[in-house]
Each structure stands twice: as structure tokens, then as C-alpha cells.
Homo-oligomer: A and B are copies of this chain.
Amino acid sequence: MTNRPDEFSLIEQIRRRTVVSDRTRLGIGDDAALLNVSGDGEVLVAIDVLMEGVHFDGERSGAEAVGRKALAVNLSDMAAMAARPTATVVGIVLPKRRAELLGQQLMDGLLGIAAEFDVDLIGGDTNTWDGPLVISVTLLGEPSGRGIVTRSGARAGDWLFVTGALGGSLSGRHLTFQPRVDEALTLHSAVNLHAMIDVSDGVASDVRHLARESDVGMVIDAGAVPIHDDVDGSLSDAQRLHHALTDGEDFELLFSVSKEDGRRLLERSPLDVPLTLIGAVTQEAGCRLRLADGTQTELPEGGWVHSFGDAS
């Protein structure tokens, strides 16, 4: 489940009025839902919809890249739960005049990354119309032996880490990023992950999601935030930091662990991708940015914006 800024209130409204049965172990409000199923099973479910003109530019982005991204964003949600993706169903809406070619290209991209992550395509619904391309992907997954990691387990005193580097994704990386599924499972077996989310709205927003769900506060060290090379190097340091905090679509892992586990990760990271200590969890509510001189300001608002292509 993604929380785009302008749809946030609708999600909250839905969440408030939704009553679920005992079989729903985790409902609306995290990166995926967890359901008890017949027999003795558990299944995780995530859904994401991508629309031409909003999440990708139909002219510039090939449909293959779009098909890949549509599954990749869900794989990133599954990673955020430290779960294994297993199977997917796909709803496709194709512009009539290019339906056949676009459909094949979409499936090329989707089936390619599905094979890479050992995910079965088990069903779908294809449609055509006179409108733009829309693809809706639902991904199922299963918990690893250590259970899932939610957004709500961060504790005061925890350290906050992020994988990879942040910002500038919309210049192209948002279509080609590698979902951190393996990294999440590796971390999950190496340390006790208290809370985790994937950075989709921008770390400034996603830190807020973690803080709210965990009922804690967070402080981010301005100097520690790893800024991606995709962020324009000619900008000022402050502007570059702002991009790293708010551009979104990074699809890196943001998580909290105890100080002890944090020290362990710093001494010897189990990951091949960079792992950076960017802040800490506080008892005091609110999300703040700690500047080099020690002063603290509010974390910038913003986060993922609907008009892509303006990330330069």
C-alpha cells in the first residue's frame, strides 16, 4: 500500500471505516497485508497501480520498462515486510490502437523480473480502451521463518538505517531500480529488524509513516543522508539534500534496529549494497532534521509528486 500525499486522507477514511475479521492479521496501513488462509497458511498481499502520464511518460518510457516497474514496486513492498514474493495477478488496460504491441512489451518486462525473483504469474485481466495505459499488479508473498517486519515496531533509542542512495530517481532510475527483496531477507536473518518501510514517497515522508505507525519520533542527520549521483551535482548542498529527502521512488529500505544491532551492521554489513546510519528514533514525537551545527529543524514536507520528469 502506497500513501501518496494527495490521496492520504482517502486512505485514512477507508482505514477508519474498515472492519476486518480474525483472519486478517495485518490490514490497511503497511506495505502489504497479512492474511490467515485455510489450512495453516499465511499470505501477504500488496497492490500498486501505475498510470501513463502519472507514474511514467508513455512517450519516453518503453512499455517493457513499465511492465517491469509495475511488478518491481510491489516487490519493493514485499521487501519492506521482509517477506518472500511468490505469485502475481495483473490487470492491464491498453490503449486500443497499440494494444497488441504494448501488451507484449508490458509482459516482456513483467515476466522478466518475475523470473528473476521466482514469482509466478497466475492470473490476470486484460482490457482495451481509448484512454492511456494502466497496469494494476497484485503481488502475493509469504513470511520468512522469522515472521514479517511491520512499520509499527520502532522503539525510542533505535538507530535508523537506509540502503543505497537517495534522490534523483525520476530522471530514470524509477524504472530500473532493483527491489531490495534479497537484502531485506538477509538483514532479517542477521539482526532483529524492529520496523521497516520501502522509500517510495521520499525518505522525509516515509520516516513520518514509520514514526506515526510506531508512535515515536525520529531525527535524521542531515550530513549522513546518502545522496544519489542522479541528483544534479550543480545544485547547492541544501538543494541536493532536499532532493534526496523528498524526490521519492528510491525503493530503498528504511529500517530501525537496536543500537547494539546497529553497531553490528556498521562493523560488518551483510549486504553488497551500501548501508548508511542516517538517524535515530526518539521518544519525543515529531520528525526532525539535525543540521551540522547541531540545531534541529522540521523535516521538509513534500515527498513523491505526481508530475514526474521535473526531478532535474
Chain B hits for A40, CB < 8 A: 39-41
Scoring A residues 1 to 38 as 1 if CB is less than 8 Å from chain B, else 0, what string do you get? 11010110111011001111101101110001101011
A125 at the B interface (CB under 8 A) = yes
Minimal Cβ-Cβ distance residue in B for A31: B123
A92 vs B49: C-alpha distance when bound (angstroms): 8
A265 vs B51: C-alpha distance when bound (angstroms): 48
Chain B hits for A111, CB < 8 A: 17-18
Contact yes or no, B126 A37, CB < 8 A: no
Which stretch in A100-108, A213-221, A280-288 binds the other chain? Answer: A100-108
Which A114-136 residues have a C-beta within 8 angstroms of B? 115, 118, 120-132, 134, 136
Chain B hits for A24, CB < 8 A: 87, 120, 122
Contact yes or no, B14 A121, CB < 8 A: yes
A120 vs B6: C-alpha distance when bound (angstroms): 25
A175 at the B interface (CB under 8 A) = no
A48 at the B interface (CB under 8 A) = yes
- How many residues of chain A get a CB closer than 8 Å to chain B's CBs? 73
Chain B hits for A48, CB < 8 A: 91, 125
Which stretch in A138-146, A149-157, A241-249 binds the other chain? Answer: A138-146
A283 CB to nearest B CB, Å: 30
Contact yes or no, B41 A122, CB < 8 A: no
A29 CB to nearest B CB, Å: 9
Contact yes or no, A122 B13, CB < 8 A: no
A42 at the B interface (CB under 8 A) = yes
A30 CB to nearest B CB, Å: 8
Chain B hits for A136, CB < 8 A: 47, 49, 91, 125, 136
Minimal Cβ-Cβ distance residue in B for A108: B17
Highest count of chain B CB atoms <10 Å: which of A53, A54, A127: A127
Chain B hits for A17, CB < 8 A: 107, 111
Contact yes or no, B123 A37, CB < 8 A: no
Chain B hits for A99, CB < 8 A: 7, 10
A222 at the B interface (CB under 8 A) = no
Cross-chain contact of A132 among B23, B28, B42, B131 (Cβ < 8 A): B131
Contact yes or no, B54 A127, CB < 8 A: yes
Cross-chain contact of A129 among B14, B38, B51, B142 (Cβ < 8 A): B51
> Knowing A14-B107, A86-B37 touch, does A120 contact B45 (C-beta < 8 A)?
no
Cross-chain contact of A125 among B1, B20, B54 (Cβ < 8 A): B1
A93 at the B interface (CB under 8 A) = yes
Cross-chain contact of A45 among B10, B89, B143 (Cβ < 8 A): B89
A202 vs B42: C-alpha distance when bound (angstroms): 36
> Knowing A10-B103, A42-B37, A126-B10 touch, does A121 contact B47 (C-beta < 8 A)?
no
> Knowing A40-B41, A91-B47, A111-B17 touch, does A140 contact B86 (C-beta < 8 A)?
no
A-B contact pairs, 8 of them (CB 8 A): A4-B126, A4-B127, A9-B100, A14-B107, A18-B120, A38-B142, A47-B136, A136-B136
